[in-house]
Amino acid sequence: DARVTQTPRHKVTEMGQEVTMRCQPILGHNTVFWYRQTMMQGLELLAYFRNRAPLDDSGMPKDRFSAEMPDATLATLKIQPSEPRDSAVYFCASGFPPGGMQYFGPGTRLTVL
């Protein structure tokens, strides 16, 4: 049963530190999405990639967030410098158009003190 994996599952850091979250999409999926979930905002799309190329990152605060896909098996989301308002659960999802189905990873719970 193929699944999206994410590391770390939990991260506690201090304000100003760099945070890197990693995602391994399901093998064969060519589209990767990054979401942020807070109680107030629901599921918020940050960025997504197709065939490793960024298609849209308009949901990300550009000054501190960056997303990349170094290869087809790894997507990264970085926050530098981190701030307390970045505390949330960050989900990665992968899919293979044109079906539309997306499968979520377990999430990274980030706490910035």
Partner 1 sequence: GENVEQHPSTLSVQEGDSAVIKCTYSDSASNYFPWYKQELGKRPQLIIDIRSNVGEKKDQRIAVTLNKTAKHFSLHITETQPEDSAVYFCAALRNSGNTPLVFGKGTRLSVIA
Find the shortest distance in angstroms from Cβ 66 to partner 1. Answer: 19
84 φ, ψ to 5°?
A: -55, -35
Cα gap 86→113, rounded to integer Å: 10
Among 88, 91, 94, 110, binds partner 1 (CB under 8 A): 91
Query: Which parts of 34-53 interact with partner 1 (CB under 8 A)?
Result: 42-43, 45, 48, 50
Select 54 or 81, whichever has its Cβ closest to partner 1.
Answer: 54
Comparing C-alpha atoms, which of 87, 67, 85 is closest to residue 75? 67
Do 95 and 29 touch, CB atoms closer than 8 A? yes
Quote the longest CA-to-CA distance of the chain. 41
Among 19, 82, 86, 105, binds partner 1 (CB under 8 A): 105
Q: Which residues form the interface with partner 1 (CB under 8 A)?
A: 33, 42-43, 45, 48, 50, 55-56, 91, 97-107
